[in-house]
Chain A
């Protein structure tokens, strides 16, 4: 019973926190410079891990896909599958998972450290709302940087798939490009980017909440960062599944 009450209390606090962040994001003062700085920091931290995570996936899809598509004599259509899988599913999900791992943990650790070392109190004493100054820029940075990274991973995923399909797999380049462009619609791109923003929002909010509500010591900061990564990755995968089902159901 106690556990249930505690969970409800946490949920209530999280909802209130999200409301506070939403209000702070749309009312002045908005700390634009801090948001740009966070975007820069997060993009630099994430670009290599995200690329390393998604590039092999395109290669594996081509590698495995060729042998299966060959069974039906349809290997020329491999790029249709590759493009859809990368643009709609793998690129947004993996880019977001890596954003959760890199950006989420670093935001939670940064805010947690600031809290433990009294810097959050120092901000408050200097009449700066910590949610506005520290949390909102992190959330906005995640919302903006995650889809930008996904654009990069789209290209990388398709390129690595192309390498294993065309030069290595022997599929004709013209056919690869024709099926790729015929199958991928602007909707695929926008859905992928939209999902990334949504996941980025989740990462930023959870990292901000756990960072601000950290315990008292260095170990608690580590725990907040760890909890952020685990909870946001689980959330991303669950929401990704739900969103994909809903979109397919809606014929998109």
Chain B
């Protein structure tokens, strides 16, 4: 989408520079640095509780890291304080370039499925209701919930809610789509359908995807960049083929579902 924050094409979508975040004594991110190029699909793997969701939240300024820079299209999100009016304006301008699929969907309970997906369009675009209707129908058809337009989230299964939430995340063709465990709660067929949709959106609209996942099959299918977080540290990160070839012990443990290895069950 057209946006005043547009930057030259060679600026990476996301750069994390030595980002650390702790909650009390618990260090969740410990000096994480990485670069995600625009137009790529980055999958971040890692066991539960290793800060993957915290990382996503830092990207959109929902959390402030204790240390480090979070550059989104070259602008440091970590330096913006949402409580200050001028910073909030900047932050909101940056956030308009994101779509986010939350782990539990986070659909609005008092809106129908249609209104949930139309919500960002009505707020951030000048589209007519007719155009919004067509676009929402298209998005819902793509995720296979066209029949549920007039239902409320409470009437849907967990998997359907997730798909509607994905339709909302891609509603206004964002530059970057953040997905927090997109395949959890989905059956394997729907999970594969969602993967294909991600690949299609990536191919046709050039969207950048940053996906947090436990699903190794999904990582193999869609990722062109793979990272692995364990114990707050980025243990490996790079082009998918290279990371697979490198066969880092933590990654191998993850892929082979082994209980013994560098990842400790706490």
Residues of A within 8 A of B (CB): 110, 113-114, 117-119, 121-122, 124-129
Contact = CB atoms under 8 A, between A and B. Distances in A.
Given A125-B60, A125-B95, A127-B124, A113 B109 contact: yes
Contact of A119 (B57, B92, B96, B108): B108
B102 A126 contact: no
Interface of B: 57, 60, 62, 82, 88, 92-93, 95-96, 98, 100, 102-104, 106-110, 119-120, 123-124
Nearest to A29: B123
A117 B106 contact: yes
Interface of A is mostly: helix
Given A118-B104, A122-B100, A122-B102, A128 B123 contact: yes
A229 B104 CA distance: 30
A110 B57 CA distance: 23
B193 to A, nearest CB: 23
B62 A129 contact: no
A99 B96 CA distance: 37
B96 A127 contact: yes
B109 A122 contact: no
A119 B123 CA distance: 16
Nearest to B124: A127
21 contacts: A110-B110, A117-B104, A117-B106, A118-B102, A118-B104, A119-B106, A119-B109, A122-B100, A122-B102, A122-B108, A124-B62, A124-B82, A125-B62, A125-B95, A125-B98, A125-B100, A126-B95, A126-B120, A126-B123, A127-B92, A129-B88
The 4 A-B residue pairs whose C-beta atoms are closest, nearest first, are A127-B92, A118-B106, A122-B106, A127-B95
Contacts of A117: 104, 106, 109
Contacts of A125: 60, 62, 95, 98, 100
A117 B82 CA distance: 21
A122 B178 CA distance: 12
A130 to B, nearest CB: 10
Nearest to A123: B108
A121 B124 contact: no
A118 B102 CA distance: 8
A13 to B, nearest CB: 11
Contacts of B82: 124
Contacts of A114: 108-109
B189 to A, nearest CB: 27
B109 A121 contact: no
Given A126-B119, A127-B124, A121 B95 contact: no
Contacts of A121: 57, 62, 102, 106
Contacts of A129: 88, 92
Contacts of A128: 123
Nearest to A120: B106
Interface core residue of A110, A121, A125 (most chain B CB under 10 Å):
A125
Nearest to B85: A23
Contacts of A122: 100, 102, 106-108
A118 B120 CA distance: 16
Contacts of B106: 117-119, 121-122
Nearest to A129: B88
Interface core residue of B103, B106, B108 (most chain A CB under 10 Å):
B106
Nearest to B110: A110
A117 B100 CA distance: 15
